[in-house]
């Protein structure tokens, strides 16, 4: 099995395997061994209730909740600027059962979002973690609006794998809109992330409790020995919110040997695995590390995340088509989950384009107004007056391409995509005669589904006894289990905010060990 | 991507992604920290050149090579008897380009076996490790014959995912035929595995070298504190050959939440994760742990491995059919890899049978003579005089079943399975009029593809610096990477023997640290 083909929930699996068959031994296993504990430092340079490592969504949300609950808080960030991947992400957050959905007449529910997550996740998800995220989705987005003052556009969008449009988009189409609000709120509360502070050690004492960390203050990424060593005491807890390892070539290819240095990533350079490894070293449970997501909407004509994801998704996957240039045909449901689409692009030989017409482009000009001129200017998106011009530019056989468009237009008019089962937008229109706008597609390493194991309280779980590690919490991409095999777009920000808040709230309730 | 749908080799992937896109940072990462080293014991109770943990194929093959190379060797086994899962396995070993193939006119090559392994492995395989196994396959099987005196049947069989029949089967259709020969050879050399000796700690010193282990001598599985603690010095190396964790419910469900205690396993109760976790704790790299294989040919009518795998594979997958009882139709290529078949069984609701006719049964009576009477006696396999009787017994719609058989028989006569593309045997015959023999199918946890990372020298690789850990080797199911996402049947024994031997040979060449 490993990953069943998506149709089987854990409940179904149990149903079909029956209760008769019971086997396997449950061992508590050896305890994490205090003999291996690093001795606590003789001197703590600084002391806080709560020490947070990482300043993306999860770390900042944790800091905000912990500080509001009255704890003293410090946030360490290894890079020169706070925000991690969160500050460069696409600024989309899923909310199931939201006011915007009600306004648009879109029926949705947290349970439907959960089922979407489990289907994409091939049921490898920790269901109880995914449920927290799905059921707190609308509340969390409303919290960003009411509590933080984040501004969103008034039109919902749809990423692949979601049954319905349910994505809120920040006004600037970037996670920075949320990060900057969180930073401002934290500043008001007296907390400013300490940048260039790199985690080098987590102190787990002989009693099994985490009691602090060692950092390098003044660290210059990626120079290992830069900065000055300091020991920081955490009276209540340490919260790991250090993100994924999409930019860590060595670690990601250890898990998936195909993802070597020739494969581009959307991640910032600091998305590396040092903190994850340190967590494993002190007894955290590594889970599902080999599930690494490629974003299907990357472009070979720009580096990193770039801007093409917006165009390829919002203008094309929602309002245009994705085409295999060798055949002139569609090759995937353009709104399937990211794995299905990335696999499909690679399978047809990475010769695919996304394109749309004047209608889709006009929506783009409204939704992602700042991005469109840049995309054209950089040549990532190109404009073609006629279908013939576009076919010629990408060497697409013209007649099959015409047939593809005719077929699609009939589907739109009929209200059903018989060929691929794609969700049709309420303002979907048949593709017009031209002009057309197109970009090339190339999958890029985007998100690490695996990480360390947590429970619904965001407590890190000990590999040796399957119990929470006292004094250690984790949230966001450094953790695994929420998304199973495949994460849905717009669920990462949600995951980070939901579990970041949970971690901050629960850490603040801990009894200090000193 | 995570796991691309099998069509894309790493080479293809690179080809399609192009050389233009280069991103991601390669960090050497922090070193494994000597501050965390357990202090070496003041007293070593025993000293050997090489300390081997585990007494299955890998451990015994390592011991044999190391001893032959002149090293002093000890083998520790935690259970009451040696052999681990190896002694209860099906006794099949793949050999590509073997004398038996030549005799049967079957064209094969190590490269074809390698390609089969990569295809099944969804290209998550460490290609260099898989290559060692494939290219040493025939030599290794011949070594078991010439050097160890293992006896095999003279008919090759075929497990799912292999392009051609290439499986040697031991005369008693059990891995015990290999284990007992290895044990006898080792006894002649003065090495007898020490049973009930449980690994509790690996000593990795401040210099990063592994120097010995702590065991509990007189351990009674699974009582944690049974036995007496002893410190064992390894002057040259420790070799981990501790197998998989298929019977460790806590650890396997941490990696794949579906695989809880209600799911049966083919593994012996000692197939648990303690040694794997200890290896991770001292800095080994955990890879691909969430890829856990279900054997598709298990039966709900017997516990554990049982005997049905032989019948369902050799009599039915090769000479009969697998049927969805709800529809009366085939639902998968009966010779597809294990994941494809297990997924298919679960997808159609676990209501499947394997059946064969007099011809397939006669082959079974010859190939697995001892198993057949037991299967009938235990009611795992049932005999039906007519198709009508069989249909009635499993509530299969009769007409579709008849059509299925007619269609299959036409395919056999035409020499091509148009419907599912199954390989046809040289002695394949259309299914006869009766009697029929049938068994129910239920996937069971069978093999852990993931484990700790090794290189082609069988050296364990440090998670922190991606370099070999001095003094530590590993082989067999405790390692990951050889099989990628999905292991092919008959490649586990091969993997264990190939890398067990490599580990033993290389460990013997180490310079003693004391």
Which tens digits make up the pLDDT trace of A467-480?
Answer: 999 999 999 999 99
What sign does the CA torsion over A421, A427, A430, A434 have?
negative
Query: Which residues neighbour A154 within 8 Å (Cβ) at sequence distance 6 or greater?
Result: A100
B514 touches chain A (CB under 8 A): no
Write out chain A residues lying below 8 Å of B131, CB-based: none
Q: Nearest Cβ partner of B2 from A200, A251, A485?
A: A485
The two structure tokens encoding residue B394? 């499993």
Q: Hey, are the CB atoms on B1 and A258 less than 8 Å from each other?
A: yes
Residue written as token pair 């973690």: A129
Residue of B nearest to A453 (CA): B254
B215 touches chain A (CB under 8 A): no
- Encode pLDDT of A375-431 as tens digits: 999 999 999 999 999 999 999 999 999 999 999 999 999 999 999 999 999 999 999
pLDDT of res. B21: 35
B281 touches chain A (CB under 8 A): yes
- The mean predicted confidence, pLDDT, of chain A is 92
A19 touches chain B (CB under 8 A): yes
Minimal CA–CA distance to B293: which of B161, B127, B422, B381? B161
Strand partners, B284: B462
Supply the DSSP string of A8-67, one letter for each residue: --HHHHHHHH-SS----B----PPPPGGGPPPPPS--SEEEEEEEE--SHHHHHHHHHHH
Phi and psi at residue A184, in whole multiples of 5°?
-65, -45
Q: Hey, are the CB atoms on A249 and B26 less than 8 Å from each other?
A: yes
Angular region, B406: left φ>0, alpha ψ -120 to 50, beta rest: alpha
At residue B408, does pLDDT exceed 60?
yes
Write out chain B residues lying below 8 Å of A444, CB-based: 21, 23
> How do the domains of chain B map onto residue ranges?
35-250+273-287+447-508, 302-442
* Interatomic CA distance for residues B447 and A45, integer angstroms: 49
Q: What's the rounded mean pLDDT across residues B22-26? A: 36
Contact B83, B267 (CB under 8 A): no
Write out chain B residues lying below 8 Å of A124, CB-based: 256-258, 290
Q: What's the rounded mean pLDDT across residues B433-462? A: 97
At residue B175, does pLDDT exceed 50?
yes
Q: Nearest Cβ partner of A36 from B281, B290, B293?
A: B281
Minimal CA–CA distance to A113: which of A57, A77, A73, A159? A159
B286 touches chain A (CB under 8 A): yes
Q: What's domain B35-250+273-287+447-508's architecture?
A: 3-Layer(bba) Sandwich (3.50)
pLDDT of res. B37: 60
pLDDT of res. B347: 86
B50 touches chain A (CB under 8 A): no
* Interatomic CA distance for residues B301 and B486, integer angstroms: 26
Write out chain A residues lying below 8 Å of B260, CB-based: 10, 14
Write out chain A residues lying below 8 Å of B10, CB-based: 257-258
Query: Which residues neighbour B113 within 8 Å (Cβ) at sequence distance 6 or greater?
Result: B94, B96, B134, B137, B162, B166
At residue B3, does pLDDT exceed 60?
no
* Interatomic CA distance for residues A284 and A308, integer angstroms: 37
Write out chain B residues lying below 8 Å of A14, CB-based: 260, 262-263
What sign does the CA torsion over A5, A9, A11, A16 have?
negative
Pairing between β-strand B197-204 and β-strand B167-169 as defined by DSSP bridges: unpaired
Is pLDDT larger for residue A121 or for residue A34? A121
A26 touches chain B (CB under 8 A): yes
Secondary structure E strands in B318-452: 321-324, 352-356, 382-384, 436-440, 444-448, 451-452
pLDDT of res. B349: 82
pLDDT of res. A15: 40
Q: Nearest Cβ partner of A248 from B7, B27, B224?
A: B27
Task: Report the predicted TM-score, pTM, of the whole model to 2 decimal places.
Answer: 0.92
Query: Which residues neighbour B465 within 8 Å (Cβ) at sequence distance 6 or greater?
Result: B28, B29, B31, B32
Q: Hey, are the CB atoms on A303 and B28 less than 8 Å from each other?
A: no
Q: Using CB atoms within 10 Å of the CB of residue B310, give its burial: 0 to 12 exposed, 13 to 18 middle, 19+ buried.
A: buried
B145 touches chain A (CB under 8 A): no
B151 touches chain A (CB under 8 A): no
Question: Which one from A233, A330, A338, A453 is the annotated catalytic residue?
Answer: A338
pLDDT of res. A13: 43
Q: What's the rounded mean pLDDT across residues B165-171? A: 97
ipTM score here?
0.90
* Interatomic CA distance for residues A23 and A25, integer angstroms: 7
Q: Hey, are the CB atoms on B258 and A33 less than 8 Å from each other?
A: no
Active site residues of B: 338
Residue of A nearest to B225 (CA): A30
Residue of A nearest to B480 (CA): A255
A2 pLDDT band, cuts 50/70/90, is very low
pLDDT of res. B337: 94
At residue B4, does pLDDT exceed 90?
no
Contacts across the A-B interface (CB distance below 8 Å)? 315
pLDDT of res. B501: 98
Q: Is A297-442 a domain of CATH 3.30.70.1520?
A: no
Q: Hey, are the CB atoms on A5 and B265 less than 8 Å from each other?
A: no
Helix (H) / strand (E) containing A324: strand A321-324
pLDDT of res. A37: 60
Residue of B nearest to A289 (CA): B288
Q: Nearest Cβ partner of A343 from B1, B12, B443?
A: B1
Geometric angle at alpha carbon B219, from B213 and B223, rounded to 5°: 115
B35 pLDDT band, cuts 50/70/90, is very low
Which of the 8 DSSP states describes residue B459?
E
A225 touches chain B (CB under 8 A): no
Q: Specify the CATH number of the domain A38-250+273-287+448-508.
A: 3.50.50.60
A24 pLDDT band, cuts 50/70/90, is very low
* Interatomic CA distance for residues B343 and A2, integer angstroms: 9
pLDDT of res. B39: 82
- Encode pLDDT of B252-305 as tens digits: 999 999 999 989 999 999 999 999 999 999 999 999 999 999 999 999 999 999
* Interatomic CA distance for residues A5 and A121, integer angstroms: 10
Q: Hey, are the CB atoms on B288 and A291 less than 8 Å from each other?
A: no
- Encode pLDDT of A111-144 as tens digits: 999 999 999 999 999 999 999 999 999 999 999 9
A108 pLDDT band, cuts 50/70/90, is very high
Q: Using CB atoms within 10 Å of the CB of residue A373, give its burial: 0 to 12 exposed, 13 to 18 middle, 19+ buried.
A: exposed
CATH class of B302-442: alpha beta
Residue of B nearest to A11 (CA): B258
Percentage of the residues of chain A whose pLDDT score is greater than 90: 90
SS3 of residue A479 by DSSP: strand
pLDDT of res. B38: 67
Residue of B nearest to A294 (CA): B1
pLDDT of res. B206: 87
Which of the 8 DSSP states describes residue A423?
P
Write out chain B residues lying below 8 Å of A486, CB-based: 2
pLDDT of res. A30: 44
Minimal CA–CA distance to B436: which of B387, B398, B381? B387
Strand partners, B462: B284
pLDDT of res. A36: 54
The two structure tokens encoding residue B44? 């070593």
Write out chain A residues lying below 8 Å of B453, CB-based: 254
At residue B350, does pLDDT exceed 90?
no
At residue B17, does pLDDT exceed 60?
no
């Amino acid at each position: 099995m490993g990953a069943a083909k998506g149709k089987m929930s854990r409940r179904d699996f149990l149903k079909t395997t029956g209760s008769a068959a019971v086997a396997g031994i449950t061992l508590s296993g050896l305890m994490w061994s205090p003999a291996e504990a690093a001795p606590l430092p003789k001197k703590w340079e600084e002391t806080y209730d709560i020490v947070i490592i990482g300043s993306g969504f999860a770390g900042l949300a944790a800091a905000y909740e912990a500080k509001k609950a009255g704890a003293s808080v410090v946030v360490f960030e290894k890079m020169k600027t706070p925000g991690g991947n969160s500050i460069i992400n696409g600024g989309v957050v899923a909310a199931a059962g939201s006011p915007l959905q009600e306004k648009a007449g879109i029926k949705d529910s947290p349970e439907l979002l959960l089922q979407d997550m489990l289907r994409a996740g091939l049921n490898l998800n920790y269901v109880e973690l995914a449920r927290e995220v799905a059921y707190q989705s609308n509340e969390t987005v409303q919290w960003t609006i009411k509590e933080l003052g984040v501004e969103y556009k008034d039109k919902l969008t749809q990423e692949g794998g979601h049954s319905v449009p349910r994505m809120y988009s920040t006004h600037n189409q970037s996670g920075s809109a949320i990060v900057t609000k969180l930073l401002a709120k934290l500043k008001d509360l007296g907390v400013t992330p300490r940048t260039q502070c790199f985690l080098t050690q987590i102190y787990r004492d002989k009693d099994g409790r985490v009691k602090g960390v060692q950092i390098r203050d003044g660290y210059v990424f990626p120079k290992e020995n830069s900065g000055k060593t300091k020991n920081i005491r955490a009276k209540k807890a340490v919260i790991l919110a250090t993100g994924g390892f999409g930019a860590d070539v060595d670690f990601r290819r250890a898990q998936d040997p195909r993802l070597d240095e020739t494969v581009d990533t959307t991640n910032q350079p600091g998305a590396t695995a040092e903190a994850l490894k340190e967590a494993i070293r002190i007894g955290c449970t590594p889970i599902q590390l080999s599930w690494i997501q490629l974003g299907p909407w990357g472009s070979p004509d720009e580096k990193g995340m770039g801007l093409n994801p917006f165009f390829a998704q919002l203008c094309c996957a929602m309002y245009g088509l994705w085409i295999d240039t060798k055949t002139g045909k569609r090759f995937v449901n353009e709104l399937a989950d990211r794995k299905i689409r990335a696999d499909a692009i690679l399978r047809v030989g990475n010769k695919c384009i996304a394109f749309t017409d004047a209608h889709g482009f006009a929506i783009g000009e409204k939704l992602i107004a700042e991005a469109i001129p840049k995309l054209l200017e950089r040549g990532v998106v190109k404009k073609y007056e006629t279908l013939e011009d576009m076919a010629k530019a990408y060497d697409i056989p013209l007649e099959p391409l015409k047939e593809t468009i005719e077929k699609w237009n009939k589907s739109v008019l009929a209200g059903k995509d018989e060929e691929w089962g794609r969700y049709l937008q309420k303002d979907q229109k048949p593709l017009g005669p031209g002009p057309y706008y197109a970009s090339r597609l190339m999958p890029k390493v985007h998100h690490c589904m695996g990480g360390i194991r947590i429970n619904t309280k965001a407590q890190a779980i000990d590999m040796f006894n399957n119990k929470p590690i006292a004094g250690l919490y984790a949230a966001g991409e450094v953790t695994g289990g929420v998304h199973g095999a495949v994460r849905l777009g717009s669920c990462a920000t949600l995951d980070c905010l939901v579990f970041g808040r949970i971690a901050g709230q629960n850490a603040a309730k801990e009894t200090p060990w000193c």
